[in-house]
A = this chain, B = another copy of it.
Amino acid sequence: MPELRKDPVIGRWVIISTERGKRPSDFADTQVKKEGGFCPFCYNNEDKTPPEIFAIRPDKSQRDKPGWTLRVVPNKFPALRVEGQLNRQGEGIYDKMNGVGAHEVVIETPDHFKDLEDLEIPTIRDVFWVFRERMLDLKKDIRLKYVMVFKNYGQAAGASLEHTHSQLIATPIIPKTVIEEMEGSRAYFGFKDRCIFCDIIRQEITSNARVVCDDEFFIALEPYAPRFPFETWILPKQHFSHYETISDDLLQHLALIMKEILGRINMALNHPPYNFVIHTSPLQDEPDESYHWHIEFMPKLTRVAGFEWGTGFYINPTSPEDAAQYLKQITL
């Protein structure tokens, strides 16, 4: 019997469709492969990107030259731009404003053929450290209300370049999905005086049916109502509403659990395309006791079709309990 499950935060129902029960091997033909060739993110092509915003240069090499280990540049085709005024206006019954914001790319390593999971822990930590630093910098521009940090890996997940990178988009409005998530957790807090994510962590540790791995500081779990097979959330065990408040110590542990999750996903699913997104509180907001930052990791194994577009409902052929078992069994 298929089962309908409700995401406790956002109120989205999903169908866990046991009839279509899918194991990792059913998704095996999605492997991401690198082809090489010309790449604007490789050494000596620094002039093929807009001038760098920031770089880690252990050898103190020159700006926009080789020598960096991590580099942040504006997106060459930015969805939003820093220059100009918002200029909010109507057009009859419609509303619009200029696309003011920021769109940056984090080139995670100079090595074209390494992926995020292949990097050493200190390098992965640098990637998550630079997310924090860029958010703190963008926060100074009070027009910017939200920073979305995300990674698209593999063409099927929307990556247009194969050299490993992640992105930040800062928006002048708080996105709808974020508002819904915050409203959901605020409603729960109003009812229970507890953070819903803290409650999720407690219940998941007790039941242990959906936990993939954890340490003292972080937990990785398959959510109760996942949209996608092997969707995995990574949450700090302690309550923090804003990603950019993460301590250096926690960054180390985040790098460790990210590498572990990527390793397990890649072993179980043969290097699938994926997206991850950092869900965090709006940039200009005060610390919030009802919202809890976390990372949502989504391997791209199924296609979103008409039903999902029309309803916001998702049909998921793999239960999160099964997915957690498969991922736990992997020997790294």
Contacts and interface: CB of A to CB of B under 8 A. Distances in A.
Nearest to A6: B95
6 contacts: A6-B95, A8-B95, A15-B80, A146-B311, A156-B303, A169-B307
Interface in A291-305: 296, 298, 303-305
Given A15-B79, A81-B1, A176 B305 contact: no
Nearest to A279: B310
Interface string A66-90: 0000000000011111001000000
Q: Which 8 A-B pairs have the closest CB atoms?
A: A158-B305, A2-B99, A150-B306, A277-B310, A175-B311, A177-B312, A275-B306, A176-B312
Nearest to A174: B311
A119 B311 CA distance: 28
Q: Which bucket holds chain A's interface residue count?
A: 35 or more
A125 interface: no
Contacts of A6: 94-96
Nearest to A88: B4
Q: Taking chain A's interface residues, is the majority helix, strand, or loop, or is none over half, making it mixed?
A: mixed
A84 B1 contact: yes
B92 A5 contact: no
A12 B176 contact: yes
Interface in A8-55: 8, 10-13, 15-17, 19-20
A220 to B, nearest CB: 18
Given A1-B81, A17-B77, A279-B310, 17 more contacts: A1-B84, A2-B81, A2-B98, A4-B173, A12-B176, A79-B315, A92-B203, A93-B196, A94-B225, A148-B310, A150-B310, A157-B303, A169-B307, A176-B313, A177-B310, A177-B311, A180-B312
A90 to B, nearest CB: 10
A232 interface: no
Contacts of A173: 4, 13
Interface in A252-308: 275-279, 296, 298, 303-307
Q: Which of A95, A225, A307, A315 has the most CB of B within 10 A?
A: A307
A241 interface: no
B93 A199 contact: yes
Nearest to A176: B312
